[in-house]
A and B are shown apart, each in its own frame.
Chain A
Amino acid sequence: SQQGEEDPQALSIQEGENATMNCSYKTSINNLQWYRQNSGRGLVHLILIRSNEREKHSGRLRVTLDTSKKSSSLLITASRAADTASYFCATDADDYKLSFGAGTTVTVRA
């Protein structure tokens, strides 16, 4: 079942700008993961943040997690044209299955 809700649905930015997207979920989780999907392709894992972590960095990516608000954000800094893709958050609860959000489509204009 789909647990995550992502905001915004779509985002268009200029190359070099930062992109921020948010994810909210409903139940308690073990971790939250962010994935990227290029058009017509599978998903690529970007970053995983555990329920006891509040912030995590990986290269130009910064993820925050607020378990009290059941929300997470993904920030992509200094965006590039290659960052154009759909981004999904996914929550990992107690049943080994990931539940994906609706996704945010990011377009980076050159």
Chain B
Amino acid sequence: GAVVSQHPSWVICKSGTSVKIECRSLDFQATTMFWYRQFPKQSLMLMATSNEGSKATYEQGVEKDKFLINHASLTLSTLTVTSAHPEDSSFYICSARDRRRTGSSSYNSPLHFGNGTRLTVT
């Protein structure tokens, strides 16, 4: 099945530093990747939609200068948390749709998720 690799699985950083999280589709090409944030015992909140070769689309309330997204290839999207603060501590999860399922059929195709990154800012 389709595999999405997310790295690192956990990271601890000091306040004010930047952290980069990578999301790779290993056996399929992903035109679109999605970045979610999840607080403990809560649901997933969509942060942004990452489109290959173009600017990401951010959800309302998400600071685009704080959460930089780059989707440089059909298999890699990165999320950089800039100048991280303790309130940015969270579980970040990426997901991707198979490029072969784009178009009308994408409405009925599942997302493939990475295993998430636990970010702790001290």
Number of interface residues of A (CB under 8 A): 27
Some 12 contacts from A to B, beta carbons below 8 A apart, are A1-B46, A2-B43, A30-B107, A31-B108, A40-B91, A43-B44, A43-B111, A45-B113, A96-B32, A96-B97, A96-B106, A96-B107
**What 1/0 mask marks residues of chain A from 88 to 110 whose CB sits below 8 Å from any chain B CB?**
10101010111111110100000
Which chain A positions have C-beta within 8 A of B112?
Answer: 45
Cβ distance A28 to chain B, nearest Cβ, rounded Å: 12
Is A33 a contact of B110 with CB atoms below 8 Å?
yes
State A29–B118 Cα separation when bound (angstroms): 31
Which chain A positions have C-beta within 8 A of B93?
Answer: 42-43
Say yes or no for A76: interface residue by CB 8 A criterion. no
Say yes or no for A69: interface residue by CB 8 A criterion. no
Which chain B positions have C-beta within 8 A of A60?
Answer: none
Is A97 a contact of B34 with CB atoms below 8 Å?
yes
State A47–B41 Cα separation when bound (angstroms): 22
Is A42 a contact of B118 with CB atoms below 8 Å?
no
Is A41 a contact of B115 with CB atoms below 8 Å?
yes
Cβ distance B41 to chain A, nearest Cβ, rounded Å: 8
State A64–B109 Cα separation when bound (angstroms): 18
Say yes or no for A44: interface residue by CB 8 A criterion. yes
Which chain B positions have C-beta within 8 A of A92?
Answer: 107-108
Which residues 64-122 in B have Cβ within 8 Å of A in the complex?
Answer: 91, 93, 95, 97, 106-116, 118
Which chain B positions have C-beta within 8 A of A42?
Answer: 4, 6, 93, 95, 113-116
Say yes or no for B54: interface residue by CB 8 A criterion. no
Is B111 a contact of A41 with CB atoms below 8 Å?
no
Which chain A positions have C-beta within 8 A of B45?
Answer: 2
